[in-house]
Structure 1
Amino acid sequence: MQPLTEHQAQPIDIIFEDEHLLILNKPSGLLSVPGKTEPFCLTAQALRYNANSRVVHRLDMSTSGLMIFAKNHISQKAMGQCFEKRLVKKTYDAVIHHAPSQHEGVIERPLICDWPNRPKQKVCFETGKAATTHYRVIRTLAHLQASVVRLTPVTGRSHQLRVHCLALGCPILGDQLYNLQGSHLRAPRLMLHAAQLHFEHPITAQPLHISKPSQFCRIPLTAV
Structure 2
Amino acid sequence: MSASPENPNADFIVPHCEEAIGYLHSDDDLLIINKPAGLLSVPGRHPDNKDCLIRRVAEIYPSATIVHRLDMSTSGLMIIALHKDSHRALSRLFQDREIEKEYQAVVYGKLASIEGFIDLPLACDWPNRPRQELNFDYGKKAQTHYHHQGMTDDGHSKILLTPITGRSHQLRVHTASIGHPILGCEFYAHPAAKAAAGRLLLHASRLRFTHPYTGEMLDIQHDAEFVD
TM-score (norm 2): 0.90
Given the alignment of the two structures, is residue 172 of structure 1 paired with residue 177 of structure 2, yes or no? no
In structure 2, C-alpha distance between the alignment counterparts of 1:144 and 1:108, rounded to whole Å: 29
Match of 1:68 in 2: 79
Q: What is the one-letter code of the residue matched to 1:44?
A: R
Partner of 2:28: 19
Aligned partners of 2:140, 2:210: CA distance in 1, in Å?
27
Partner of 2:221: 211
Unaligned runs of 5+ in 1: 219-224
Identity of aligned residues (%): 44
- Write out aligned runs for 1:33-52 (5 A): 33-37=42-46, 38-52=49-63
* Cα distance, 1:181 vs structure 2: 4.8
The count of residues paired between Structure 1 and Structure 2 equals 212
Show the counterpart of 2:131: 120
Contact 1:100 1:168 in 2 (8 A): no
Equivalent of 2:207 in 197, 211, 214? 197
Relative to 1, partners in 2 of residues 1:6 and 1:36: Cα closer, same or farther, differing over 3 Å? closer
Corresponding position of 2:112: 101
What is the rounded CA distance, in whole Å, between the counterparts of 2:110 and 2:171 in structure 1?
Answer: 15
* Aligned-partner residue type, residue 195 of structure 1: S
Q: How does 1:82-97 map to 2 (within 5 A)?
A: 82-97=93-108
Give, in angstroms, the shift of residue 35 of structure 1. 1.0
Compute the TM-score of the two structures, normalised by the length of structure 1: 0.91
Shift of 1:113: 0.6
Distance 2:70 2:103 in 1: 11
| RMSD, aligned α-carbons | 1.3
SS at match of 1:187: coil
Gaps of 5+ in 2: 1-14
1:178-201 CA distance string (max 9 Å, x none)? 112510000000000000000000
